[in-house]
Amino acid sequence: MAGEAKNLISIADLSKDEISGILSLASSFAEVLRRPVKKVPALRGKTIVNLFLEPSTRTRMSFELAAKRLSADVVNFSSGTSSIVKGESLKDTAKTIFSMGADAVVVRHQSSGAPQMLTKWVDCSVINAGDGMHEHPTQALLDLYVMRERMGGLEGLKVAIVGDIEHSRVARSNILALNKVGSKVLLCAPRTLLPAGIEEFGVETTVSLDEALGWCDVLYLLRVQAERIEGPRFPSLEEYHENYGLSEKRWDKLEKKPLVMHPGPMNRGVEIASSVADEVEPSIAGQVAAGVAVRMAVLYKLLSGSVSSERFEREQ
Amino acid sequence: MCLLEERGGFSFVCALSLAVVAMGFRARAKILDSDDIQRILKRVAHEILERNKGSEGIALIGVRTRGVHLARRIARAIEEIEGGKVDIGELDVSLYRDDISIRPTPDVGVTNLDFDVTDKKVIIVDDVLYTGRTTRAALDAITDFGRPKVIQLAVLIDRGHRELPIRADYVGKNIPTAGEERVKVSLEEVDGVDMVEIGEGELS
């Protein structure tokens, strides 16, 4: 195969220009999604494999829809139904997928670094759809897209990320991305949910949600990931809600309401009160809708023009 | 390097553009000036009205970038002649191209068709007709938006060398060219000046 496969593993690998390139491309694809026929032939003949080895609803559906809107063929592998349950290793699964002639693998894995490993075993594009506590780059790109659309720009935008920072790949990717595009980031969490060495990320931290609310333009709530949290980090979910949840009382008190975002699925009554969740639902739904356009942009960027310039010159 | 077909008003001969890469466009002759272009567009507006028996149901869809400006000018001319309003749309055909996988990733511009094309008399407007591949992509894109009554093609320049069975219904000027030649269309709205030149080499 000619040329290097192009991958999206980490936001750290993208430059500011590449990020804004993807966001602009995503606006063009958002327009495609408003057409009567929401499909373009751009990736006809390409095969994309969704390898989801950890539960996921919206990300998998979003990638599948994005691929189909671009006319690519999609194969779904998920942990429950594939030979993974028979003990097949990731490496063997990867080889199988590649032998089937896939042009890209979209991978979600519970282990941080799995997508990076995959790039060594297959010669096609690898896209990280969330690996352990490491990164979830397409989520961050779609979040930036929504912020840019709703707030008019990213430069100097004040974004407070609230909740379980330590276990959140969404937070990590967002921090990296927001730093690159010149937004300001404030992390708000109990000290037990802030990772060690967070200072290296070049962000401010606070333990007071009210301080964060008074400061931010965008309030990004994270899901409390009960399944990843080992041992007691806070006394109870009720107490978490009291101190770090967007309660009705806090929300009503706010004079200037920030844009509220959440990667989903929301734990109502924990990070956000149910009534507030209903109120901000349209913007959360906007995130899901933007997800398809942004993932179309990523797939298009990685898979179109994928032939190296040498072969391109030869064929002309 | 080689960008979109007919982008910047010039063409799609990649082998040659690679051979002369980074040498830039060198004009050899000016084919049309501002007055010529104005006269041509007025004549094309008249031809469109004649062929379609008036402006009823006409929609002009410009192929980005310069086709869009030409479509706007023709629409203005039609409105001056007949009164009434015609629909104008902008089309980016990048996602419908047949060479997406063999060329460097093209950027995707904005498509803006805020009217229903079904049962309209659609006229595709482009600056240069060359291989016909852009027009083929435009036909596919438009038919995904609906089922026009008729689709016609208006171009400022037809430079020959078709690779598909496509011809224009309205031609501003036929310019016989050699394959390695380039036709560069400049328009006031984009380039600050109206003119058409013929020459060699790639535009930046």
In this complex, do A32 and B18 lie within 8 Å of one another by their Cβ atoms? Answer: no
Task: State the Cα–Cα distance between residues A267 and A253, nearest whole angstrom.
Answer: 22
Task: State the Cα–Cα distance between residues B108 and B116, nearest whole angstrom.
Answer: 22
Q: Give B181-195 pLDDT, tens digit per residue.
A: 999 999 999 999 999
Boundaries of domain holding A275: 139-289
Confidence (pLDDT) at A85: 58
Residues of B in contact with A70 (CB under 8 A): 95
B142, B151 Cβ separation under 8 angstroms: yes
Return the higher-pLDDT residue of A212 and B106: A212
| Same domain membership, residue A280 and residue A157 | yes
- Residue ranges covered by each domain of chain B: 7-200
| Same domain membership, residue A49 and residue A106 | yes
CATH code of A130's domain: 3.40.50.1370
Establish if A3 belongs to a structural domain: no
Q: How would CATH label the architecture of B7-200?
A: 3-Layer(aba) Sandwich (3.40)
pLDDT over 60 at A226, yes or no: yes
Number of domains in chain A: 2
B181, B29 Cβ separation under 8 angstroms: no
| Same domain membership, residue A56 and residue A163 | no
Confidence (pLDDT) at A311: 39
Chain B, nearest residue to A41 by Cα:
B96
Establish if A284 belongs to a structural domain: yes
Establish if A223 belongs to a structural domain: yes
- Active-site positions of A read 58-59, 86, 108, 136
Q: Give A35-65 pLDDT, tens digit per residue.
A: 989 999 999 999 999 999 988 888 999 999 9
Task: State the Cα–Cα distance between residues B130 and B12, nearest whole angstrom.
Answer: 8
Name the residue facing B102 among A27, A36, A312 (closest C-beta). A312
In this complex, do A28 and B140 lie within 8 Å of one another by their Cβ atoms? Answer: no
Task: State the Cα–Cα distance between residues A177 and A171, nearest whole angstrom.
Answer: 10
> Per-residue pLDDT averaged across B168-184, rounded?
94
Query: How far, CA to CA in Å, does A83 sit from each of A41, A87, A131?
Result: 32, 7, 20
Return the higher-pLDDT residue of B103 and A176: A176
Classify strands B121-129 and B58-63 as parallel, antiparallel or unpaired: parallel
Contacts of A302 (CB under 8 A, 6+ apart): A6, A7, A8, A104, A125, A127
Q: Give A51-102 pLDDT, tens digit per residue.
A: 999 888 889 999 999 999 999 999 998 776 666 656 678 888 888 888 888 9
Residues of A in contact with B100 (CB under 8 A): 42-43, 304-305
Partner A, chain B 107-136, Cβ-Cβ below 8 Å:
107-112
Q: Give A271-300 pLDDT, tens digit per residue.
A: 999 999 999 988 888 888 899 999 999 999
Name the residue facing A312 among B92, B103, B111 (closest C-beta). B103
Task: State the Cα–Cα distance between residues A44 and A244, nearest whole angstrom.
Answer: 47
| Same domain membership, residue A171 and residue A89 | no
Task: State the Cα–Cα distance between residues A291 and A139, nearest whole angstrom.
Answer: 7
Confidence (pLDDT) at A309: 41
Q: Give B113-169 pLDDT, tens digit per residue.
A: 999 999 999 999 999 999 999 999 999 999 999 999 999 999 999 999 999 999 999
| Same domain membership, residue A167 and residue A70 | no
Phi, psi of B70 (to 5 degrees): -65, -40
Interface test with B, best of A71, A296, A304 (most B CBs within 10 A): A304
A244, A162 Cβ separation under 8 angstroms: yes
Classify strands B195-200 and B26-32 as parallel, antiparallel or unpaired: antiparallel
Confidence (pLDDT) at A312: 40
| Same domain membership, residue A280 and residue A149 | yes
Q: Name the average pLDDT for chain A.
A: 89
Confidence (pLDDT) at B20: 44
Specify the DSSP class assigned to residue B31.
E
Q: Name the average pLDDT for chain B.
A: 88
Q: Give A17-26 pLDDT, tens digit per residue.
A: 999 999 999 9
| Same domain membership, residue A200 and residue A154 | yes
CB contacts < 8 A, A to B, total 68
- Model confidence at B18, in pLDDT bands (50, 70, 90)? very low
Q: What is the ipTM of this complex?
A: 0.74
Q: Chain A: nearest CA to B149, how far in angstroms?
A: 17
Give the predicted TM-score (pTM) of the model.
Answer: 0.85
In this complex, do A305 and B105 lie within 8 Å of one another by their Cβ atoms? Answer: yes
In this complex, do B105 and A304 lie within 8 Å of one another by their Cβ atoms? Answer: yes
Q: Give B65-76 pLDDT, tens digit per residue.
A: 999 999 999 999
Half-sphere exposure of A75 (CA within 13 A, CB side): 17
| Same domain membership, residue A229 and residue A99 | no
Establish if A305 belongs to a structural domain: no
Residues of B in contact with A38 (CB under 8 A): none
Which range is least confidently modeled, B9-23, B26-40, B59-73, B188-202?
A: B9-23
Chain B, nearest residue to A28 by Cα:
B110
Sheet of B195-200, strand order: B26-32, B195-200, B182-186
Chain B, nearest residue to A312 by Cα:
B102
| Same domain membership, residue A296 and residue A246 | no
| Same domain membership, residue A207 and residue A129 | no
- Model confidence at A196, in pLDDT bands (50, 70, 90)? confident
Residues of A in contact with B104 (CB under 8 A): 305, 309, 312
Confidence (pLDDT) at A97: 83
